[in-house]
Amino acid sequence: MKILVTGGTGYIGSHTLVDLLENEFDVVSIDNGMNSEVSVLDAVRQITGRQLTHYAIDLCDKDKVDEIFAKENFDGVVHFAALKSVSESMSQPFLYFRNNLNSLLNTFEAAKLYGVKAFIFSSSCTVYGNVSESPVDENTPWQEAASVYGRTKQMGEKIISHCSSETTMQSIILRYFNPAGAHSSGLMGESPKNMAQNLVPVITETAIGKRPTMKVFGTDYPTRDGSCIRDFIHVCDLAAAHTLALHHLLQHKQKDKIDVFNLGMGEGVSVLEAIKAFIGVTGQNFSYEMAPRRDGDVTAIYSNYSKARQILGWQPKLTIRDIMHSAWQWEVNRTKKQ
Ligand SMILES: NC(=O)c1ccc[n+]([C@@H]2O[C@H](COP(=O)([O-])OP(=O)(O)OC[C@H]3O[C@@H](n4cnc5c(N)ncnc54)[C@H](O)[C@@H]3O)[C@@H](O)[C@H]2O)c1
């Protein structure tokens, strides 16, 4: 079975390439490198001992996307490619709508035209907006999106749901909570070209001295310690869910055209607790400052993932300690190479 992974050199995409290759899929990657380096594919090849094809193209270029689909004959597509910064999406809404929606439309339409059987879409817990209660399950009603980024994910899910009636393809929408951590080899992890915005790489970059300090945005939220609450999930557990979702579709286990699954650990961890967990696991102390709330952040959200467990057989195996340990090992290794 041949699978296209868009955003293949990105953080979650590269870890998913490894999981797919280790599970006997053939893979092709597409990425325009706007937030990643193609050199991560060397690590993917080294870890798996397998080869893969990569195309450095922009998915907003419909002709190039069609050309690749015409040539490759994919059985499935995992569509990761998107811009993902909540704060940047608030200052550059045109960029986010244009990139995230056009790349999805081109990929989804080409998948339809070229007879792809299975389509997996990377969505996010941001679709739920500022919920008043957690855990959230897949039926929790959506609130107004708190950011333009979140809106692109809500719109992406709607595009798939409206356009699916025109296709014979089946889709799975995966709503990730907060992916973090790195591969246990220490050869790959989160390494964005754009300034890291997610909490764990900001912590590791501060601890290693790349940043003089870091900010905890908001200390007056109505949570147990005043900071936001998130649900951190190890990127390798997340990657494994994509392999299971593809098997589920390609083995005809899904009745409906579309289904949707939450992927999180099911536990809320506050930003301050995450910082303490990092210090506890690594023994590295660093400076952090309390700062005002940031536009677009929701107060607290964590998942009920029992649907993914029951239907896909997915179960996260790694803990917050594994996340912090692997992220730190990756930070140390990549800093040595710089
Ligand atoms: N990391 C998170 O916290 C998180 C949480 C929820 C959902 N998601 C979603 O998961 C997906 C993957 O996220 P990630 O953390 O790996 O991000 P990432 O930035 O590391 O990877 C995304 C990749 O897509 C590529 N890309 C973007 N636009 C493109 C285009 N037009 N053409 C070709 N390539 C393009 C980028 O260069 C990048 O390598 C995204 O859709 C993101 O919105 C991420």
What string of pLDDT tens digits covers the 338 residues of the chain? 999 999 999 999 999 999 999 999 999 999 999 999 999 999 999 999 999 999 999 999 999 999 999 999 999 999 999 999 988 999 999 999 999 999 999 999 999 999 999 999 999 999 999 898 999 999 999 999 989 999 999 999 999 999 999 999 999 999 999 999 999 999 999 988 877 889 999 999 999 999 999 999 999 999 999 999 999 999 999 999 999 999 999 999 999 999 999 999 999 999 999 999 999 999 999 999 999 998 878 899 999 999 999 999 999 999 999 999 999 999 999 999 88
Give dist(CA 15, CA 320) in Å, integer. 18
CB 86 within 8 A of CB 126: yes
CB 111 within 8 A of CB 69: yes
Instruction: Give residue 155's pLDDT.
Output: 98
Residue in 29, 34, 147, 194 to alter for ligand 1 test, most ligand atoms within 8 A of Cβ: 34
Cα 222 to averaged position of ligand 1 atoms, centre (Å):
30
Cα 36 to averaged position of ligand 1 atoms, centre (Å):
9
Q: Say yes or no: CB of residue 106 within 6 Å of ligand 1.
A: no
Q: For residue 245, give the amino acid letter.
A: A
149 is catalytic: yes
Cα 262 to averaged position of ligand 1 atoms, centre (Å):
18
Q: Say yes or no: CB of residue 82 within 6 Å of ligand 1.
A: yes
Tokens of 283: 């023994």
The owner of tokens 């597509």 is 77
Q: Say yes or no: CB of residue 16 within 6 Å of ligand 1.
A: no
Instruction: Give residue 195's pLDDT.
Output: 75
Instruction: Write out the DSSP string of 292-330.
Output: ---TT--SB--B--HHIIIII-------HHHHHHHHHHH
Query: Please, which residues have CB within 8 angstroms of residue 137's CB and are 6 or more apart in sequence?
Result: 262, 303, 304, 306, 307
Cα 193 to averaged position of ligand 1 atoms, centre (Å):
12
Q: Judge if the upstream peptide bond of residue 135 is cis by omega within 30 degrees of 0.
A: yes
Give dist(CA 133, CA 125) in Å, integer. 13
Burial (CB count within 10 angstroms: exposed 0-12, middle 13-18, buried 19+), residue 69:
buried
| Fold topology of 2-181+233-266+304-316 | Rossmann fold (3.40.50)
Q: From the CB of residue 71, how many other CB atoms can be counted at a distance below 10 Å?
A: 12
| 119: DSSP letter | E
Q: Dihedral, CA atoms, 82, 266, 246, 174, nearest 10 degrees?
A: -30
Options 11, 55, 96, 149, the catalytic residue = 149
Among 224, 219, 201, smallest CA distance to 211 is for 201
Instruction: Give residue 70's pLDDT.
Output: 98
Segment 23-55, tens digit of pLDDT: 999 999 999 999 999 999 999 999 999 999 999
CB 19 within 8 A of CB 236: yes
Q: Say yes or no: CB of residue 262 within 6 Å of ligand 1.
A: no
Give the nearest ligand 1 atom to 57 CA. Answer: 33
Residue 96 to residues 60, 80, 92, 135: CA-CA distances in angstroms?
Answer: 12, 14, 7, 28
Q: Where are the domains of the chain?
A: 2-181+233-266+304-316
Residue in 17, 19, 35 to alter for ligand 1 test, most ligand atoms within 8 A of Cβ: 35
**What's the predicted TM-score (pTM) here?**
0.97
141 alpha-carbon distance from chain centroid: 22
Give dist(CA 305, CA 300) in Å, integer. 16
| 224: DSSP letter | S
Cα 100 to averaged position of ligand 1 atoms, centre (Å):
9
Instruction: Give residue 193's pLDDT.
Output: 81
**Rg of the chain over CA atoms, in angstroms?**
19
